[in-house]
Structure 1
Amino acid sequence: MQQGHPRHKQLRRADHEMYLHNRHKLVGLAAISNLFSSFGESIKTACKKMQKAFGFINE
């Protein structure tokens, strides 16, 4: 009696590996996004301090 197509096991393994790859890629993209947002915040803070020092902002 046949147990199923022999390629089924290979396809399931490939699906699982693709799931792991996509999860790993998503974690990397989230880390890059956090890095750029932190750079943006630090640049914004630095610009505000420079504007205050040069008198562009009257607070």
Structure 2
Amino acid sequence: MTLGLINANPIVHAKKERIPRSEESHSDHFVDPLDIYDILSFIFFYLKLKIK
């Protein structure tokens, strides 16, 4: 067995404040970021084909 602390001088960090989530993220008007990515990827793909 050890006769002391494994780390005699541990570094202790303060906890970050939690940001309360609003109810907007669960509403019908909330847009998922992945949906935006899907739309933009389609637009860029279409523009890429149109340029060729």
| TM-score for the superposition, normalised by structure 1 | 0.38
Q: Which has the higher helix share?
A: 1
